[in-house]
A and B are shown apart, each in its own frame.
Chain A
Amino acid sequence: MSGERHHRQQILPEVGQAGQERLHRASVLIVGVGGLGSPVALYLAAAGVGRIGLLDDQRVELSNLQRQTLFVDADQGRPKVEAARDRLLAIDPSLPVEALRDTFRPANAAMLVSAYDLVIDGTDAFETKFLLNDAAILLGRPLVHGAVLQWSGQVTTVLPGGPCLRCLFGEPPDPGSVPSCEEAGILGAVTGIVGSVQAEEALKVLLGAGAPLQGRLWQHDGLRGDTRVIAFPKDPACPVCSAEPVITDLARYADQVSPRGHVLAQSR
């Protein structure tokens, strides 16, 4: 751990030497190494987070490069996690970066989430976002959720005990009701601001500093230049973070939650 490398972070009273050591001992899993995962990974690596896990099963494509700033032109065709690891090591060669070429699914959710202190949602599929939420609540790990579409994005931080994504949104939207980034487009830089907010939240949670977006949803509209933070309560009937949850066990996830992320009524 280099004092000089992290000097300007360490002299913040909210960080200090103790905070820097805390970051050095911390581990973060980034699920989805794309538009959001790129700035998160770059900033957490630069900050000196001790162990970073990168999970993604895709390869770099030309159409990624407009926003996925971890990758360079010559990375086209390479597995994203390998290209990303190289990029992070160029910032700090001493970092232990774990390149995990896989998808996030009920069968590996518990093993993956429990192996890290904090999880970042850099995915683009609703069912994966809700699975991440459920796994984070069930395993007591903080989750920093982020999502983007067109010129807009949002972030919230789910801490153990909630409130959680299911308190906020209930169920994932119906298939086809929300267009994909491929269909509707995405301004590349919007992923930059949303991912940077996620990285900022992750550092605050790991440091125990400031007020994270717990029970608050940050929303940004880049086209209008509008940013707002709205508070949301815990849902007393939340299927996963309430006192009487319906989603109770990742090992029985398929019995409790549909492949689309909807709670199955009979599971109770």
Chain B
Amino acid sequence: MPHHPLAPSQVERYARHIALSEIGLRGQHRLLQSRVLIVGLGALGSPAATYLAAAGVGTLGLIDHDEVRLANLQQQILHRTETVGSSKTDSAARTLASLNPEVRLEIHPRRLDRSNAMTLMEKYDVIVDGTDNFGSRYLLSDAAFFLKKPLVHGSIFRIEGQATVFLPGRGCYRCLYPEPPPPGLVGDAQDVGVLAPLAGIIGTIEAIETIKLVTGKGEPLVNRVLLHDALAMTFREIRYRRNPSCPVCGDHPRIRQLQDYNAFVGAVAR
């Protein structure tokens, strides 16, 4: 009696993972049992969700409030011309279900905000940040800390991208960026150019980091940010630590519940 109850078709589907000593049957079983939430199904969420579904993550939660637009298709490989106009969650679910029918998909066609973040996020083991704005990044970081959930962060801006992993108590987005950039300095994502494969690189790194967290193998990008410049083709690593005076995860926290993030980043609600 095998103690890892994988069906023969699963052993074949995931054969290249099972052959890896760090994964094996045990690690693949863990992936199949895991629950991962992807927040944002755009440029970063597309490759992250695609590779996590292919890898056999048992349950994928998908959050996005937007509809697919024609201008998304250049950088968001989950979506198709025929799904322009439908919700991104539906469009993504169709692609992911066709890719791997074994994955359970939980779709949340809504904007993650401070009223629903804790409830939506608490049901998952790992949270993946595929958002495109500072308000959402601070919201995810604070909520992940309060819920003691690992948060895989990725972001891109024009030709630059970065990725890191926040483990509760080992530093958060506020430790890295205590203050948001001045309002207006960074434009609305729709008006910022993007080189699509850069999103592929960063979103796929987010998938790899998630797989490492779920299987407990390798060295996740904790306390280090990977920075990539697509044009110069350079990768740099910057180390950071938990900030003892961080208002959320520091020694004397002042913020103990979710905030008004639109006000914090000075964004105009759309």
Contact = CB atoms under 8 A, between A and B. Distances in A.
B74 A8 contact: yes
A185 B16 contact: yes
A188 B73 contact: no
Nearest to A13: B193
A174 interface: no
B207 A192 contact: yes
B265 interface: no
B71 A8 contact: yes
Contacts of A39: 47, 77, 197, 200, 204
Contact of A212 (B14, B51, B233): B233
Contacts of B220: 225
Contacts of B71: 4-8
A182 B16 contact: yes
B116 interface: no
Contacts of A74: 98
Contacts of B190: 8
Contacts of A213: 233
Interface in B213-238: 217-221, 224, 226, 228, 230-235, 237
Interface string B1-42: 000000001001111111111110000000000000000000
Contact of B200 (A2, A43, A48): A43
Given A151-B218, A211-B232, A188 B77 contact: no
A62 B9 contact: yes
B20 A73 contact: no
Interface string B144-185: 000000000000001100000000000000000000000000
A187 B21 CA distance: 11
Interface residues of B, number: 68
Given A201-B233, A211-B232, A62 B12 contact: yes
A203 B80 CA distance: 21
Contacts of B101: 73
Contacts of A190: 208
A65 B54 contact: yes
A69 B20 contact: no
Interface in A161-208: 181-190, 192-193, 195-197, 199-201, 203-204
Interface stretch (A87-95, A98-106, A252-260): A87-95
A225 B235 contact: no
A223 B194 contact: no
Task: Rank and list the top 9 A-B pairs by shortest CB-CB distance, nearest first.
Answer: A185-B19, A196-B200, A210-B231, A12-B193, A192-B204, A185-B20, A200-B197, A199-B197, A223-B218
16 contacts: A5-B74, A14-B195, A39-B200, A43-B196, A43-B197, A46-B74, A66-B15, A71-B99, A182-B15, A188-B54, A192-B50, A193-B201, A193-B204, A200-B201, A212-B233, A227-B226
